């Protein structure tokens, strides 16, 4: 690479970083048009999520994503010391977390750049975030296999939060297809019950929690991702 190309690449990257920080500051410091309160002081806001399901499958993916999470989390904390910050991970274990590779839904998950434990261990990340989509991740498995996999997935991440991270774990999205067959929604209900029963028991010990993904009111069906509960 020539000096000119290196200079151009550096300036391009610097511009991207600067634009990203300007955008974050504009959001965090924006005034709520209804209450007049800045978002950084808004009690209705629970937490900031850096990105929904971040992936970075380049040759240097894991270090690049790790550095990005650390930089963005620190910047948000410099603007807002009131709210929590999380990453928005799916919960996959990366290539460096080899003792957890069997928890992933297939080999490819480890190469997507995210790594649940080191990504969540960053000091400015307040709680770990996890998703679970057995119908998408292991689509050809039967109900028994999906239930077993999901049970192991939840147990593993709750344990990581308790032992490796010493942080709460929030299962932000748990989805199963709304497809109705001759059994109705029996399969979906079994899978969701498996997850929420475990999370409920953990929540009683202040270890894990969950959001509902997702509830839609009548008239907004076009926004569904086919895993809507109702």
CA distance 133 to 223: 18
The dihedral through the CA atoms of 76, 78, 82, 87 has a sign that is: positive
Per annotation, catalytic residue among 42, 49, 53, 71: 53
41 given a catalytic annotation: no
Q: Which of 131, 114, 120, 15 is nearest to 65 (CA)?
A: 114
Tokens of 21: 């920080």
- Pairing between β-strand 128-132 and β-strand 169-174 as defined by DSSP bridges: parallel
Catalytic member of 71, 173, 182, 201: 173
Contacts of 125 (CB under 8 A, 6+ apart): 69, 73, 85, 86, 87, 119, 167
- How many CA within 13 A on the CB side of residue 28? 24
CA atoms of 150 and 131, how far apart (whole Å): 11
Per the annotation, the verdict on 53 as an active-site residue is yes
Q: Which residues have a catalytic role annotated?
A: 53, 173
């Amino acid at each position: 690479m020539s000096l000119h190309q290196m200079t151009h690449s550096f300036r391009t990257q610097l511009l991207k970083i600067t634009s990203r920080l300007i955008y974050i500051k504009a959001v965090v410091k924006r005034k709520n048009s209804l209450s007049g309160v800045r978002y950084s002081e808004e009690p209705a806001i629970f937490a900031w999520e850096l990105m929904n399901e971040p992936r970075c499958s380049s040759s240097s993916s894991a270090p690049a994503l790790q550095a990005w999470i650390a930089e963005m989390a620190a910047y948000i904390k410099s603007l807002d010391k009131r709210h929590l910050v999380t990453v928005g991970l799916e919960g996959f274990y990366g290539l460096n977390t080899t003792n957890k590779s069997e928890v992933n839904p297939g080999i490819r998950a480890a190469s997507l750049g995210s790594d649940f434990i080191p990504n969540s261990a960053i000091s400015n990340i307040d709680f770990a975030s996890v998703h679970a989509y057995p119908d998408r991740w292991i689509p050809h498995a039967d109900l028994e296999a999906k239930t077993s996999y999901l049970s192991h997935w939840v147990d593993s991440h709750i344990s990581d939060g308790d032992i490796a991270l010493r942080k709460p774990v929030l299962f932000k999205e748990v989805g199963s297809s709304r497809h109705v067959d001759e059994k109705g929604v029996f399969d979906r209900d079994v899978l969701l019950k498996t997850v929420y029963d475990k999370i409920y028991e953990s929540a009683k010990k202040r270890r894990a929690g969950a959001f509902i993904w997702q509830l839609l009111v009548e008239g907004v069906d076009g926004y569904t991702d086919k895993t809507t509960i109702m």
